[in-house]
Structure 1
Amino acid sequence: MSEEIRYRKIIHVDMDAFYASVEQMDNPELKGKPLAVGGSEVRGVVSAASYEARKFGVRSAMSGIQAKRNCPELIFVRPRFERYKEISNKIRKIFHDYTDLVEPLSLDEAYLDVSQNKKGNPSATLIAQEIRKRIFEEVGLTASAGISVNKFVAKIASDYNKPNGQKTVNPDEVEDFLEKLDIKKFYGIGKVTTEKMYHHGIFTGKDLKSKTKEYLEQHFGKSGGFYYNIVRGIHNSEVKPNRVSKSVAAEHTFNENLTSEIFMQERLERIAAELEKRLKKYNISGKTVTLKIKYSDFTTQTRSKTLPYFISDKGLLFVTAKELLYQERMKDSVRLLGISLNNLNTEIKKTVVVQLRFEF
């Protein structure tokens, strides 16, 4: 008799239009209106859009100018990250009432492993319902959730019945669920890879599943093996409560485009100081400094340099960023500058994954 396959119970909770929803909650006059957090009709980039704005095609990372074109009635508000963090902390406290295995991905989403939970509830589906109900009653916001055997499927499922909904993909439903899915809905497959897959006749999970591992590795490199596994529901990454940062960054979008490298230098010095604060707060240092430059035509360029030692000091960050700034000529006026530090001194520990069997 073959050994029984054992499964985890993973919930992915994703707040609905989080930044925009907080603004509408705090200012009732904004409820039901198309809203963009960040940017403006003159400059900047949209950080988040309300569902009313999304109906007009307004999306995060879109320029404020384009967002206003799409939705002339769009209201812009400045982001209040301290407020978002305050709300996020309240939501995480609710999560921890159920499990300590909580892995935040950002302020508005997290994975929870409830295989063994503090409530002794055998149903991950009911736990997700209860968490969403508590978030609404105690915080005043709606959340969506995906429930399945691993993080990958749970993440996809949480987007299935948005907003204010949830979807459970049981162990025996995983492969069928993924086979029917449009390839662009697969988490981790971006626009460029999607187009490449289309060229290879891969439009759905079923198409992806029909390709051999060798074929996928030949055409998609190291990621081929990952694609081969995920479409079969194989994704053994555990929920990591102390998720290790891979990089720390600070950046600034300017009110007016900069053309003078002297002015850019001044801004870089301030950005380096801000980055130092973030690094010191968490006692992090790193070896690779990356300068991010966004031009007036919205194209982005990055330049990196890896040092032989770890740094976190604003002086060394600034000197390295300044060297990268002068590495080659600017191709246009600059609207944003940023400095990030990776190749960090944080240690990532690998653990052996053991699947556990529970009823959903």
Structure 2
Amino acid sequence: MKNPSGERITLHLDMDSFYSAVEVREQPELKGLPVVVGSDPKGGMGRGVVSTCSYEARELGIHSGMPISKAYRLCPDAVYLRVNLKLYKEVSESIMGTIRIFADRFQQVSVDEAYIDVGDSINDYHSAILLARKIKNEVFRLHGLTCSIGVAPNKVIAKIASDHNKPDGLTVVKPEDIQEFLSPMHISKIPGIGTKTQPLLHEMGIETIGQLASSDVQLLISRFGKSGVVMHQLANGIDMREVKEREEVKSVSTEDTFDEDISDPLQIDRYIHELTEKVHESITRKHFRFRTVTLKVRFEDFRTYTRAKTLHTATTDKETIRKTAMGLMEEFLGKGRFRLLGVGVSKLEKLDKGQTYLTDYLQQ
């Protein structure tokens, strides 16, 4: 979407070394060690591949997609862990819920990356940079993980930018800087130009994005068909794709991990109120009403519980979220100190813009 100034600004967020970073978060004793997530190396005889690895392991030459046997030969003393998809999916859902709050349009493209379109709420790159920093800070504060963000006029440049200064990077590419940014890069930096296409381009004397951008498009078409046109456009920083949800949004939620555990009912009420504000702002911007309210609590000893209540009718009422969440909270009051609280809504229904509901009016 274009903002009021006529410019289009897209953010791409990419979690840093996601699987291994989650493992290190769960096992702090692994911090600073080369951690490799993948299949069992079986003493160098394993036949699987590396799913991802920590930056300490990357410094030793290990990388995603490498045969696990080769990784073991490079560093037999690394910490080798099996893939725990259930854990990574749970962490991903929580992180994406945090990010989604900031977006007018949100497109998750994998377990660890997403595009963010803030539409009319962002007017310039200065504001976009401030938002990107806020998102990075929130992801780290709430989830203890770092991410890298690219800010650019479109999706392809934003994605390339997010990978430009990892880990914990923030790279901004304004429209006037596109060619200077892209031209020196190897063609492999363009998403979709993989190991099969690269040798063919090399045979044509094309190694950098700049060379691809200035190539004869008819020659590219003769070699690659319609893909030649797409490659040429991407190399020139042209990408007309919009940020859009790939599937229906099923829920909206947010949570907060406290610097110090809390038990005071007044504090709890204040945090529930703040979480409610964030959730309500998000569903209002996305034109949803809800039927179910969910509360998440985590005690100081990491015991975690969720409770939910489904209403008789769907509503957009903010006070209903807060009152329902506080009602669900009563079960846990006086039973310990809390390190995390979360509020969410689900069973969402899409509203037409401008549509009002008598049920909402009667509840106000």
Structure 1 segment 214-229 matched on structure 2, within 5 A: 214-229=218-233
- Corresponding residue to 2:109 among 86, 105, 109: 105
- Counterpart in 2 of 1:75? 79
- CA separation in 1, counterparts of 2:25 and 2:124? 33
* Paired residue secondary structure (1:123): helix
- Counterpart in 2 of 1:127? 131
- CA separation in 1, counterparts of 2:10 and 2:89? 24
Q: CA deviation at 1:165?
A: 0.8
Q: Is the 8 A contact 1:147 1:167 kept in 2?
A: yes
**RMSD between aligned alpha carbons?**
2.2
Q: 1:112-133 CA deviation, whole Å, 9 max, x = no partner?
A: 1123349999721211111001
- CA separation in 2, counterparts of 1:6 and 1:193? 35
Range moving further from structure 2, 148-157 or 78-87: 78-87
Q: CA deviation at 1:232?
A: 1.8
* Paired residue secondary structure (2:131): helix
- CA separation in 2, counterparts of 1:6 and 1:172? 15
- Counterpart in 2 of 1:200? 204
Q: CA deviation at 1:7?
A: 3.1
- CA separation in 1, counterparts of 2:167 and 2:205? 32
- CA separation in 2, counterparts of 1:204 and 1:125? 28
- CA separation in 1, counterparts of 2:104 and 2:246? 10
- Counterpart in 2 of 1:18? 18
Q: Is the 8 A contact 1:39 1:63 kept in 2?
A: no
Q: CA deviation at 1:87?
A: 1.4
- How many positions carry a matched residue from both structures? 241
Structure 1 segment 331-342 matched on structure 2, within 5 A: none
Q: Tell me the amino acid that sits aligned with residue 179 of structure 1.
A: S
Identity of aligned residues (%): 40
The 3 A distance-change label for structure 1 pair 5 and 195 is farther
1:240 and 2:244 aligned: yes
Structure 1 segment 170-209 matched on structure 2, within 5 A: 170-209=174-213
The 3 A distance-change label for structure 1 pair 208 and 36 is same
TM-score, normalization by structure 2: 0.62
* Paired residue secondary structure (1:48): strand
- Counterpart in 2 of 1:340? none
- CA separation in 2, counterparts of 1:189 and 1:84? 27
Q: 1:3-35 CA deviation, whole Å, 9 max, x = no partner?
A: x99432111000000010010011011111111
Unaligned regions of 5+ residues in structure 1, if any? 245-360
- CA separation in 2, counterparts of 1:201 and 1:168? 30
Q: 1:52-98 CA deviation, whole Å, 9 max, x = no partner?
A: 11112212222221110111211111222222122112211221221
TM-score, normalization by structure 1: 0.63
Range moving further from structure 2, 138-147 or 112-121: 112-121
1:66 and 2:53 aligned: no
For the pair shown, the structure with the greater C-alpha radius of gyration is: 2
1:27 and 2:34 aligned: no
